Structure formats: structure tokens, C-alpha cells
Amino acid sequence: MPNFILNIASQNDDLMLSDPDIQCYLLNSDIELQALQKLVHQIVDSEKIALLYGPKSLDMAVALSADGVLLDLSKSESIKKDMTNARRRLKDGILGIICRNRRHEAMVVSENEPDFVVFKIWSDGGDKTLELAEWYNEFFLLQMGVFPQDENADFTQYPCDIIILTPERYKIFVAKK
């Protein structure tokens, strides 16, 4: 069974800190600073992992002493440079990377050794992303995750280690099991 990361987009989202199956949280870096700081402390105090995501994620992760980031490099033209800069800033922090849903970019990202790689999935084009995930899973030892981008994206058939879900979508998934 894959691990779950809860995608927290708002300070009002349910963290479900008592759920033992949730060990990692992805916090939107656009959440108001004091609220974001409070969320990071709640998560870390619960001995769980706090990752930041979004345009200010790297700066905020360093400032708030979060555990790491999930950087979206799907539009980057200099993946190696961007990853080197992130590693330098994070020091020993966790570095997850979202890359383009193409083999070449997945290989470039993986060669630069992130802690995990994430592919975004949509209901449209899901077959091609599934094919990419299956290929990736055969050739790389890095943990791979999926990040559904719409309500109809079927993530259940992906051979992944990590699934990133909103609290609502996680509750629905668990209720169906």
C-alpha cells in the first residue's frame, strides 16, 4: 500500500494528526505566514513530516524549519541547476520534485537524486501518465508519487510509493476501502 501525503491548501483543512496512516503533509506556501508557522509546528510536534509546496516553498521551508519541499520543476529549463540550488538551501531537508510527464525529464530529475519524484495526473491523458509511471517504476529505485489534479483522476492503478491527496479526497478513498 502506498504512503499518503495530505495536501493542505488552507489553514482550515483538517490535518487528521491522529491518523497513523498519515505521516506527511504538503502545505501550500501561500497560506498566511502565522497560520503556516502554526501548521508546521503542529505537524512537527506530532512527529510527522511537514513539506512545503508552491511559489514560496523553498524560502518558507528554510524560514520555518520545515522538513523539506516539493518543488514543481515541470516548467524548468534548468532542472540540474534548480535542484542543486534547492539542495544547497535545504541542506539535509527532504527534496521532492514534480517533473514533466515525459521520460527524458524523469531521467534528468532522477539523475540529480531527489528524495522522491512526483507525476501529476489528470483524468484526461491518464493512460499516458500511467504508462510513464510503469516505465519509471521498472527503471528507477527512487520513490515515485502521483498527485491527482482533478476529482476524476484515477490514481488507484498507479504503481507508486506515494499518493498526494486533499483531506477530503483521502477520507473518501479510505471510506471506500
pLDDT tens column, 138-149: 999 999 999 999
Percent of the chain at pLDDT above 90? 89
For residue 137, pLDDT beyond 90? yes
Full set of structural domains in the chain with CATH:
3-10+19-176 (3.20.20.70)
pLDDT at 123: 87
Reading the block at residue 139, the C-alpha cell is: 527503471
For residue 152, pLDDT beyond 90? no
The vertex-108 CA angle with 105 and 110, nearest 5°, equals 105
b/e map 62-91, b = 16+ CB within 10 Å = eebebbbbbbbbbebeebeebbeebeeebe
